[in-house]
Amino acid sequence: MSRSIAIRDLRRLHHLAYRMLGSVQDAEDVVQDAQVRLLAVESQPANPVGWLVRVVTNLCIDRLRRVKAERADYVGPWLPEPLRSDRFGAGPASVQPEEAAALAEELSTAMLMMLERLSPPERAVFVLREGFGFSFSELAEMLAISPTSARQRMTRARKNLGGEPRYRASAETQTNALMSLIEAVGAGDSDAVISLLASDAIAYTDGGGVVSAAIAPVQTAQRIATVAIHLGYRPIADGDFEVQLVDVNAAPALLVVERGQYHSLISVDCDDTGLVHRLYVHRNPNKLAALR
Chunked mean pLDDT (size 10), the chain, 292 residues: 68 95 96 94 89 97 92 93 84 52 83 95 96 95 95 96 84 96 92 97 95 92 92 73 92 91 94 96 95 90
pLDDT in tens, 140-184: 999 999 999 999 999 999 999 987 778 889 999 999 999 999 999
Domains of the chain and CATH, by start: 7-161 (1.20.140.160), 171-291 (3.10.450.50)
User: Is the pTM for the entire model greater than 0.85?
Assistant: yes
DSSP characters over 46-93: SSHHHHHHHHHHHHHHHHHHHHHHHHHT-SS---PPP-BTTTTSS-GG
Of 98, 97, 94, 158, the residue nearest 122 (C-alpha): 158
